[in-house]
Amino acid sequence: MKATAWMGTDSVKVIDVPDPKIMNARDAIVRISTTAICGSDLHLYHGYIPAMRKGDILGHEFMGEVVEVGPQVRNLAPGDRVVVPFPIACGHCSSCQRGLYSVCENSNPNAGIAEKIMGHSPAGIFGYSHLLGGYAGGQAEYARVPFADVGPIKVPDEVSDDQAVMLADVFPTGYMGAEMCDIKPGQVIAVWGAGPVGLLAAASARLLGAERVIVIDRFPYRLRLAEEHIDAETINYDDVDVLDALNAMTAGRGPDACIDAVGLEGHHGNAAMYAYDRAKQAARVETERPFALRQAILACRSGGVVSVVGAYGGFVDKFPMGAFMNRSLVMRTGQCHVQRYTRPLLERIQRGEIDPSFIVSHRMPLRDAPKGYKIFQKKQDDCTKVLLKV
């Protein structure tokens, strides 16, 4: 089959690889129809995540048709149209039982104590390096889906591929970012990052009753999406001081909750993301552009919530602990427990409450994956989200 492979820093290629096979009684094989490139894939593209090997198949956002199931998969049958959550989760361990699927204890054989310190996902993730289980990804013609009796859900005909594939990651992630804010009627929610995750966090904040949503980014075309589709107010951090602007917009109090949908962002380089060299990290943060998490903490009103869905790894120094402690803030964070959200969010799409595909800017054939990575990384051609059609 054809698959998108990581070939080194800033290099992906569509190559021929063997078709995946059922390896476990709880596996399914899915013939992929639509798969997406994610901001998280850019961390791999930039070479910031160790333990990628040349030829590793990328992609953790995908959907398609079940073509084969192992003997213990009774909820799915060949012919079913499904979307697959990005965290691989067994459904039975103590984490999964608590609904904490992205910290499943049984899906990442490499989740040891060193990894705990370095800070990466304890669960396996499709197409996300050998630190996260070494699973082949879904930017391909077929994928093997472990624990298929737990993760994938069937998608009804009236929901399009473009809508359903958002359930693999970015819609649940944005929604979890908003849900963690514990939004009350009348509240003001600020979101750092107008990428797919930030835009869907902002849209979810609306669904959950926020009165005002403020979105912060530096790309006018992305901020326009927030204005047009979410009726959000926007701040361009290249033009104004974000803390001053937020103070002015909230009568000096600050937003009730702040969502970081940026993470240890790449455009000014995060090569030290996994470094143990703390001095190097500190120096880097000093020269960094506005650092979203730090700003989110400094901006938040006293007693408010800082919700972090942007991805981090390793150490983050220059954390404003004083402001955090003395103003009684709360922080909630995590890789998304996607399996918790797929059904309720599918129902919201079916009821017409939201169409998460408003973020999609590009659709192209799988063979154009290298071009897709390039324009998404460089934010060319007003690129917000690339779907690869297989």
Where along the sequence are the contacts to Zn ion (CB under 5 A)?
A: 38, 40, 61, 89-90, 93, 96, 104, 106, 169
Q: How far is the CB of 126 from ligand NAD (least distance, A)?
A: 12
Select from 191, 216, 187, 198 the least CA-distant residue to 304: 187
151 binds ligand NAD (CB under 6 A): no
Pair 57, 328: CB distance under 8 Å: no
Q: How many CA within 13 A on the CB side of residue 383? A: 20
Distances (CA, A) of 17 to 20, 125, 152, 296: 9, 20, 24, 44
Q: Which helix (H) or strand (E) holds 359?
A: none
Q: Which is nearer to ligand NAD, 78 or 344 (CB)?
A: 344
The verdict on 198 binding ligand NAD (CB under 6 A) reads yes
Residues binding ligand NAD: what is the number (CB under 6 A)? 32
Nearest to 96 by CA among 72, 77, 122: 122
Residue 227 phi, psi dihedral angles, 5° rounding:
-70, -45
The residue whose two tokens read 């080194």 is 8
Binding segment for ligand NAD (CB under 6 A), chosen from 69-77, 156-164, 204-212, 286-294, is: 286-294
335 binds, among Zn ion, ligand NAD, none (CB under 5 to 8 A by kind): ligand NAD
265 interacts with, out of ligand NAD, Zn ion, none, CB within 5 to 8 A per kind: ligand NAD
Segment interacting with ligand NAD, rule: CB under 6 A, options 13-21, 51-59, 143-151, 218-226: 218-226
Binding of residue 218 to ligand NAD (CB under 6 A): yes
Residue 222 makes contact with ligand NAD by CB under 6 A? yes
SS3 279: helix
Rounded to a whole number of angstroms, the minimum distance from the CB of residue 42 to ligand NAD is 6
- Tell whether residue 35 is a contact of ligand NAD (CB under 6 A): no
Q: Measured between alpha carbons, how far is 303 from 307 in angstroms, rounded to an integer?
A: 13
| Structure tokens given for 178 | 């908003």
Residue 19 or 244: which CB sits closer to ligand NAD?
244
Cα dihedral 178, 384, 263, 143 sign: positive
* Rounded Cα–Cα distance for residues 240 and 238 (Å): 6
274 binds ligand NAD (CB under 6 A): no
Say whether residue 201 binds ligand NAD (CB under 6 A). Answer: no
CA 242 – CA 258 distance, rounded (Å): 12
- 216 touches ligand NAD by CB under 6 A: yes
Q: Which of 80, 162, 217, 368 binds ligand NAD (CB under 6 A)?
A: 217
Dmax of the chain from CA atoms?
A: 61
Q: Tell which one of 84, 202, 258, 309 touches ligand NAD (CB under 6 A).
A: 309
**Of Zn ion, ligand NAD, none, which one does residue 235 interact with (CB within 5 to 8 Å by kind)?**
none
| CA 71/CA 194 separation, integer angstroms | 43
User: Which is closer to ligand NAD, CB of 17 or CB of 316?
Assistant: 316
Residue 90 binding partner per list Zn ion, ligand NAD, none, with a CB distance cut-off of 5 to 8 Å that depends on partner kind: Zn ion
Q: Which of ligand NAD, Zn ion, none is residue 270 near (CB under 5 to 8 Å by kind)?
A: none
Name the burial class of residue 47, with classes exposed (0-12), middle (13-18) and buried (19+) by CB atoms within 10 angstroms of its CB: middle
Contact predicate 354/2, CB 8 Å: no
Q: Which residue is nearest to Zn ion (CB)?
A: 38
Least Å distance, CB 158 to ligand NAD, is 26
DSSP state of 291: -
Among 173, 187, 307, 357, binds ligand NAD (CB under 6 A): 173
197 binds ligand NAD (CB under 6 A): yes
For tokens 């701040």, the residue is 235
Should residue 195 be labelled a site residue for ligand NAD when binding is judged by CB under 6 A?
yes
Map residue 260 onto helix, strand or coil. Answer: strand
Q: Which residues contact ligand NAD (rule: CB under 6 A)? A: 38-40, 42-43, 169, 173, 192-198, 216-219, 222, 237, 261-263, 265, 289-290, 292, 309-311, 335-336
